Amino acid sequence: MKVLRTPDDRFESLPGYPFAPCYTEVPDGEGGSLRIHHVDEGPRDGQIVLCMHGQPTWSYLYRHMIPPLVEAGLRVVAPDLVGFGRSDKPAAREDYSYQAQVDWLGSWLRANDLGGVTLVGQDWGGLIGLRMVADDPDRFARVVVANTALPVPVGVTEERAAAVRAFREQAPTPSMADMMKALSSPDPERPERSFAYWQKWTWETEDFPIGMMIAGMVDGRSLSPGETAAYDAPFPDPSYKMGPRAMPSQVPTLPDDPSVEPNRRAWELFSKWEKPLLCAFSDNDPVTRGADEPFRERVPGARGQPHTTIRGGSHFLQEGRGEQLARVVADFVRAS
């Protein structure tokens, strides 16, 4: 496995991100190793809040939440997924899969021997984090899901699946405007087709503008030029972007996607999960609209919890509503 490592000087003097780096070596699955970066702030004996980011962000996304969580007496641990942030970046598309990310971060979790953990998962941070919980439930005390899902496609016929495959394999690369339109106004009858625009555009746009994309999906504040640049910092050139490009295609939207069965097995665990689970979704995220309902309806530990709908914030609510989300998390840990 060819692995790229972003030079340290790319992360110097990033606005609002003074945190010291921590590193863990984990097996890469091919006889080598990968270095995973994480932030670790707050009292060593504090209850651990594990903040998991998604695509195409990194732990920089949690910079507004870390200080108030630490002030609440919590220990905040925020890793970068492999291929993102300060973590190592495998260079080939086939190196990335949903299962590989679960395996890598699961190894990282065990290597750091974290226990009594409160998971905060957003976007891919939820998809991966929830599978980590299902694989190692005794390490987790509670879960916060925020603008995320544990997807298992339902009602997608073979005809619909074939249409998505044909679109992804044969259609011209959609324009950025077409992709944004599909994401912002998904077809409720065929959501897999709408999401395919994002999957196809990210994969076929070799140097897609990560910082600009994130800035355009934040509601409640505007990112400064320095903050936008910080989201581009992990990627000195397009060869470093294989993780952000590859991961959208790993979301299981079709019945034969390889992660459908592992996600079904994870739902079997969560259908019996008695520990507290809280939903904290923003009210204006078209990507995950309605994804909180399965958690509220199917997870025993979600019953009676103070589920929160955060007004505004859009998809990356840690940017637009970070301090509010931090209060929700701190109150949830304190109360449960």
Residue pLDDT, tens place only, 110-124:
999 999 999 999 999
Same domain, 37 and 146: yes
Mean pLDDT score across all residues of the chain: 96
pLDDT of residue 283: 95
The DSSP letter of residue 187 is: -
> Does 237 participate in catalysis according to the annotation?
no
Same domain, 167 and 21: no
Same domain, 83 and 50: yes
Mark out the alpha helices in the chain (DSSP H runs). 66-71, 98-111, 124-135, 158-170, 176-184, 191-204, 210-215, 225-232, 242-246, 260-270, 293-298, 317-320, 322-335
pLDDT of residue 163: 96
Tokens of 25: 């070596």
User: Cα(333)–Cα(48) distance, rounded to whole angstroms?
Assistant: 10
Tokens of 261: 């069965």
What's at 157, amino acid-wise? T
Same domain, 85 and 206: no
Coil/strand/helix, residue 75: strand
Task: Kindly tell me if the per-residue pLDDT of 54 is higher than 90.
Answer: yes
The label of the residue with tokens 């339902």 reads 154
Same domain, 133 and 182: no
Q: How confident is the model at residue 168 (pLDDT cuts 50, 70, 90)?
A: very high
Q: How far apart are the first and last CA of the chain?
A: 43
pLDDT of residue 46: 97
The label of the residue with tokens 């076929």 reads 204
Same domain, 330 and 234: no
Number of domains, the chain: 2
Task: Kindly tell me if the per-residue pLDDT of 220 is higher than 90.
Answer: no
pLDDT of residue 221: 86
Percent of the chain having pLDDT more than 90? Answer: 95
With CA atoms as reference, report the closest residue to 143 among 277, 311, 334, 330: 277
Point out the catalytic residue in the list 80, 123, 135, 292: 123
| pLDDT, mean of residues 165-191 | 92
Percent of the chain having pLDDT more than 70? Answer: 100
Same domain, 99 and 174: no
| pLDDT, mean of residues 232-255 | 97
Backbone angles phi, psi at 263, to 5 degrees: -70, -35
pLDDT of residue 185: 87
Task: Kindly tell me if the per-residue pLDDT of 336 is higher than 90.
Answer: no
Same domain, 91 and 179: no
| pLDDT, mean of residues 50-72 | 98
- Domain with 124, as residue range(s), is 3-154+259-335
Task: Kindly tell me if the per-residue pLDDT of 188 is higher than 90.
Answer: no
Q: What is the pLDDT of residues 249-279, one digit of tens each?
A: 999 999 999 999 999 999 999 999 999 999 9
Tokens of 81: 């997924």
Q: How confident is the model at residue 184 (pLDDT cuts 50, 70, 90)?
A: confident
What CATH number has the domain bearing residue 92? 3.40.50.1820
> Does 315 participate in catalysis according to the annotation?
yes
Same domain, 231 and 173: yes
Coil/strand/helix, residue 37: strand
pTM: 0.97
| pLDDT, mean of residues 217-227 | 91
Report yes or no: 52 and 126 within 8 Å, Cβ to Cβ: yes
| pLDDT, mean of residues 318-333 | 97
pLDDT of residue 90: 98
pLDDT of residue 73: 98
Same domain, 25 and 142: yes
Report yes or no: 228 and 15 within 8 Å, Cβ to Cβ: no
Same domain, 37 and 164: no
Same domain, 75 and 109: yes
Q: How confident is the model at residue 91 (pLDDT cuts 50, 70, 90)?
A: very high
The DSSP letter of residue 21 is: P
